[in-house]
């Protein structure tokens, strides 16, 4: 990877970070209509989305895969 | 005066002409056929039509109301897109059966009685299996047979339920059934019908056929498969079992366990198949909640899901068409070579739940319905699942197909054929149009949702938070190599029970029955029979030798027997003797 691509990549990550920050801050300016108490917490959806993805990826990697992984020719031996 | 025909008729009969057409005429015909059928559909007003008597049973072949119309409409839209998408495919068998399949699903949706429902239901199974076989691989052959077996079992369950119900109530009409109907002793029949529908809705433990069969079909065939069978099951469940609480649990399980599988799956179309079950789980939850808003949400989500899942299957199908590869381990870096396909895949991924797309419009209804019904756990599961399905069917599929590093030899380059791109553009248009003009869809829904406010600031911001931070987690996991890397392996699912059980059954039968066979062969055929044969072959001689004759004569007799020059009469006499003995024995046995 050349330096120009590295620079581009850095810029993209920076942009993504800015978008994340903006979307978090915007929560302060909208009027919420929560059905449940947790929705009053600032950044609940952000945290929940992050944790959900993390649980899935760790769960898949450390729990499900060791249980169900088989060789590709498992069914045609 | 009825000025329209049955919605199943145009496509099913029209399909028969396809093999006789060539080139551009055929292409034009295949696209126009579902358009004509759609035009016919728009002429049908609410009500019951084509009421006929068959074997003294009253049938209603066409029942139209708001709910059946939405399903009929979206099935037509995806048929048009599927037809455009498969134009470069030269396989007439698949074309014909795709239209049979598309016609049959119209028959299911508009059936007003359970007999015609069942007949069209079974037509779905047969036509879908042929479409799977049309990929003509060893994998497709096996998957098609397993598909037929699973659905035949489900179909029998359904048939038994229908027969029991009609026997008890004398009513053949198809409407609300409910799991615990009052008045009659209908519990068993209701459960049987419920499970029969559940097989097609890919309930947990009945779901493996989806991930087995859909990735085995051709890229074009999968578009039809992914749209019709599961969503027609959603329709019949919404009609017959609204508010059945069991469906909430069933749907919640579907919405969670599939995601873990999709995270570790290597085959991109299998990831999409798991995501499909996940989204049908959303619809099951909504039907289970059963409030007007939830039922409208289930209908709307079926509509959206057919669009964006169709678009995702189309873009990955295009990747397969160009590269011949379907596994994450074999793919990567295609965004440069296939910019259009990449863009459509992104729209499909966003359309699962991002604002301004169809998924946001429909999924929000279900999530809000769960919140209004005061079911916090279900609400949390749906939120979890929204994040998860974006992770697996959106981010993961896009990353491993279009970015990532390819480890194997360079892939064939090139963009998807024009017709494939046109079909994707057609569906992408609907994905966004529904998102921008949600009222257009909301007005079609069976129950009024006009007081639902979709685009509030909070709703948009919170949904974007959920999706963007899911994206952040994915990025960090990829960056720090924590994501379970795609590997060349398969993951066991519940189909192992019948795939391996079938093999174990065959193996044990082989060992037991053939073992028995062998030992009997040894004992009877080789042992007893040979001894008997030896005795009977020389019986005349042995018997003749017992006669009171001189020693010299005995030797002479023996020689003649050995030289086979003994009197034929002697053998005949012996045979007669045996026969007489048999007859005497026979008469004695039958008389006692």
Residues B545, B554 contacting (CB under 8 angstroms): yes
Indicate whether B401 pLDDT > 60. Answer: yes
Average pLDDT over residues B453-469: 94
- pLDDT tens, B496-547? 888 887 778 778 888 888 888 888 888 877 777 777 777 666 776 777 777 7
Helix orientation angle between B23-42 and B66-85, rounded to the nearest 10 degrees: 170
Q: What angle do CA B92, B96, B102 make, to 5 degrees?
A: 145
pLDDT classification of B485: cutoffs 50, 70, 90: confident
| CB-based burial label for B220 (10 Å; 0-12, 13-18, 19+) | buried
> Measuring CA to CA, how many Å separate B311 from each of B82, B127, B160, B233, B304?
10, 22, 37, 21, 11
Residues of chain B contacting A46 with CB distance shorter than 8 Å: 465-466, 468-469
| CB-based burial label for B9 (10 Å; 0-12, 13-18, 19+) | middle
Residues B131, B224 contacting (CB under 8 angstroms): yes
| CB-based burial label for B219 (10 Å; 0-12, 13-18, 19+) | buried
Which of A10, A52, A59, A72 to substitute to test the interface with B, most B CBs within 10 Å?
Answer: A52
Nearest Cα residue in chain B from A76:
B139
Sequential DSSP letters for B438-497: HHHHHTTSSS--TT-----HHHHHHHHHHHHHHHHHHHHHHHTT-S----S-EE--THHH
Contact at CB, B489 and A43, closer than 8 angstroms: no
Average pLDDT over residues B95-101: 97
- pLDDT tens, B132-163? 999 999 999 999 999 999 999 999 999 999 99
Question: HSE (CB half, 13 Å, CA atoms) of A71?
Answer: 5
Q: Find the chain A residues whose C-beta atoms sit closer than 8 A to any C-beta of B.
A: 16, 19-20, 23-24, 26-27, 29-33, 35-36, 39, 43-54, 56-61, 63-65, 67-72, 74-76
Task: In whole angstroms, give the CA distance from residue B117 to residue B121.
Answer: 6
Higher per-residue pLDDT: B167 or B421: B421
Average pLDDT over residues B61-69: 95
Average pLDDT over residues B352-367: 96
Residue (of B254, B244, B312, B303) closest to B279 by Cα position = B254
Residue (of B361, B348, B364) closest to B81 by Cα position = B348
Residue (of B154, B132, B155, B130) closest to B143 by Cα position = B132
Average pLDDT over residues B99-116: 96
Nearest Cα residue in chain B from A26:
B461
Average pLDDT over residues B563-585: 73
pTM (predicted TM-score): 0.86
Phi-psi region of B445 (alpha: psi -120 to 50; beta: other; left: phi over 0): beta
Measured distance between the N- and C-terminal CA atoms of chain B, rounded to whole angstroms: 77
ipTM score:
0.94
Q: How far off is chain A from B280, nearest CA to CA, in Å?
A: 19
Q: How far off is chain B from A36, nearest CA to CA, in Å?
A: 7
pLDDT classification of B1: cutoffs 50, 70, 90: low
> Measuring CA to CA, how many Å separate B180 from each of B183, B241, B244?
10, 10, 9
pLDDT classification of B564: cutoffs 50, 70, 90: low
Contact at CB, B259 and A30, closer than 8 angstroms: no
Radius of gyration of chain B (CA): 33
Indicate whether B436 pLDDT > 90. Answer: yes
Using the Cβ of B478 and the Cβ atoms of chain A, whether some distance falls under 8 Å is answered with no
> Measuring CA to CA, how many Å separate B503 from each of B24, B142, B495, B509?
47, 13, 12, 10
Residue (of B356, B245, B250, B230) closest to B305 by Cα position = B230
Q: How far off is chain B from A16, nearest CA to CA, in Å?
A: 9
> Measuring CA to CA, how many Å separate B279 from each of A50, B125, B285, B355, B552?
20, 21, 10, 17, 99
What is the reported pLDDT for B252?
97
Helix orientation angle between B376-389 and B457-479, rounded to the nearest 10 degrees: 50
Neighbours of B22 (CB within 10 A): 8
For residue B518, give both structure tokens: 């062998």
What is the reported pLDDT for B566?
60
Residues B81, B420 contacting (CB under 8 angstroms): no
Residues of chain A contacting B335 with CB distance shorter than 8 Å: none
- pLDDT tens, B373-387? 999 999 999 999 999
Sequential DSSP letters for chain A: --HHHHHHHHHHHHHHHHHHHHHHHHGGGS----SSGGGGSTTHHHHHHHHHHHHHHHHIIIIIHHHHEE-TTTT--
Least-confidence region, from B219-228, B328-337, B387-396, B417-426? B328-337
Residues B273, B211 contacting (CB under 8 angstroms): yes
Q: How far off is chain B from A29, nearest CA to CA, in Å?
A: 9
Q: What angle do CA B62, B63, B65 make, to 5 degrees?
A: 140
pLDDT digits (tens), chain A, 77 positions? 567 888 888 899 999 999 999 999 999 999 888 888 888 899 999 999 999 999 999 999 999 999 998 888 888 75
Which H or E element spans position B167?
A: helix B138-169
Instruction: Please name the member of B461, B489, B490 whose beta carbon is closest to the beta carbon of A26.
Output: B461
Instruction: Please name the member of A23, A58, A59 whose beta carbon is closest to the beta carbon of B465.
Output: A23
What is the reported pLDDT for A47?
96
Task: In whole angstroms, give the CA distance from residue B556 to residue B559.
Answer: 5
Least-confidence region, from A4-13, A59-68, B10-19, B420-429? A4-13
Residues of chain A contacting B138 with CB distance shorter than 8 Å: 76
Nearest Cα residue in chain B from A62:
B484
- pLDDT tens, B182-225? 766 788 999 999 999 999 999 999 999 999 999 999 999 999 99
Question: Helix, strand, coil proportions of chain B in percent (round to 5)?
Answer: 75, 5, 25
Neighbours of B148 (CB within 10 A): 20
Q: What's the whole-number average pLDDT of chain B?
A: 91
What is the reported pLDDT for B57?
84
């Amino acid at each position: 990877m050349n330096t120009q691509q590295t620079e581009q990549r850095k810029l993209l990550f920076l942009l993504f970070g800015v978008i994340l920050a903006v979307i978090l801050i915007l929560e302060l300016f909208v009027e919420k209509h929560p059905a449940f108490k947790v929705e009053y917490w600032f950044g609940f959806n952000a945290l929940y989305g992050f944790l959900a993805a993390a649980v899935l990826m760790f769960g898949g990697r450390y729990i499900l895969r060791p249980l169900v992984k088989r060789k590709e020719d498992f069914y045609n031996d | 005066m009825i000025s329209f025909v049955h919605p199943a008729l145009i496509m099913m009969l029209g399909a028969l002409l396809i093999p006789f057409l060539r080139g551009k005429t055929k292409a034009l015909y295949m696209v126009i056929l579902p358009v004509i059928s759609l035009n016919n559909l728009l002429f049908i007003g609410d009500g019951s039509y084509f009421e006929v008597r068959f074997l003294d049973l009253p049938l209603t072949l066409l029942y139209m109301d708001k709910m059946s119309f939405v399903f009929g409409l979206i099935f037509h839209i995806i048929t048009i897109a599927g037809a455009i998408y498969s134009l470069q495919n030269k396989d007439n068998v698949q074309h014909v059966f795709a239209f049979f399949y598309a016609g049959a699903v119209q028959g299911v949706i508009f059936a007003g009685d359970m007999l015609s429902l069942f007949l069209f239901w079974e037509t779905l199974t047969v036509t879908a299996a042929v479409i799977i076989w049309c990929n003509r691989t060893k994998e497709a052959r096996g998957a098609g047979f397993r598909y037929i077996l699973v659905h035949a079992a489900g179909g029998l369950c359904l048939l038994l339920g229908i027969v029991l119900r009609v026997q008890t109530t004398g009513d053949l009409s198809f409407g609300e059934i409910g799991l615990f109907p009052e008045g009659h002793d209908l519990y068993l029949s209701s459960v049987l019908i419920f499970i029969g529908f559940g097989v097609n809705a890919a309930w947990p433990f009945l779901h493996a056929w989806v991930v087995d069969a859909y990735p085995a079909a051709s890229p074009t065939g999968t578009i039809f498969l992914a749209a019709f069978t599961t969503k027609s099951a959603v329709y019949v469940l919404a009609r017959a079992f609204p508010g059945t609480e069991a469906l909430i649990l069933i749907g919640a399980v579907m919405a969670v366990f599939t995601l873990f599988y999709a995270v570790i799956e290597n085959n991109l179309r299998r990831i999409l198949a798991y995501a499909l079950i996940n989204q049908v789980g959303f619809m099951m939850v909504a039907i289970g909640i059963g409030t007007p808003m939830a039922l409208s949400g289930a209908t709307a989500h079926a509509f959206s899901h057919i669009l964006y899942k169709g678009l995702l299957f189309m873009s990955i199908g295009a990747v397969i068409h160009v590269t011949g590869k379907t596994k994450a381990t074999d793919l990567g870096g295609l965004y440069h070579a296939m910019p259009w396909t990449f863009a459509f895949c992104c729209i499909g991924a966003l359309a699962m739940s991002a604002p301004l797309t169809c998924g946001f419009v429909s999924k929000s209804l279900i999530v809000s319905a769960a919140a209004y019904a005061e079911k916090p756990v279900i609400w949390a599961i749906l939120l979890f699942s929204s994040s998860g399905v974006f992770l697996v069917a959106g981010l993961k599929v896009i990353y491993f197909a279009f970015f990532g590093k390819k480890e194997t030899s360079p892939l064939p380059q090139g963009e998807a054929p024009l017709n494939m791109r046109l079909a994707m553009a057609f569906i992408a248009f609907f994905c966004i149009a529904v998102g921008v003009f949600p009222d257009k869809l909301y007005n079609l829904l069976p129950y009024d949702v006009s007081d639902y406010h979709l685009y509030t600031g909070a709703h948009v911001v919170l949904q974007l938070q959920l999706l963007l931070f899911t994206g952040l987690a994915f990025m960090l996991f990829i960056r720090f190599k924590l994501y379970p890397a795609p590997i060349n392996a398969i993951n066991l699912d519940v189909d192992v029970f019948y795939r391996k059980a079938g093999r174990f059954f065959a193996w044990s039968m082989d060992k037991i029955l053939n073992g028995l066979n062998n030992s009997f062969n040894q004992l009877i055929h080789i042992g007893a029979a040979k001894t008997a044969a030896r005795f009977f072959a020389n019986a005349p001689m042995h018997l003749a030798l017992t006669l009171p004759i001189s020693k010299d004569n005995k030797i002479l007799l023996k020689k003649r027997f050995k030289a086979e020059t003994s009197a034929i009469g002697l053998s005949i006499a012996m045979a007669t003797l045996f026969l007489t003995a048999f007859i005497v024995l026979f008469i004695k046995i039958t008389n006692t």
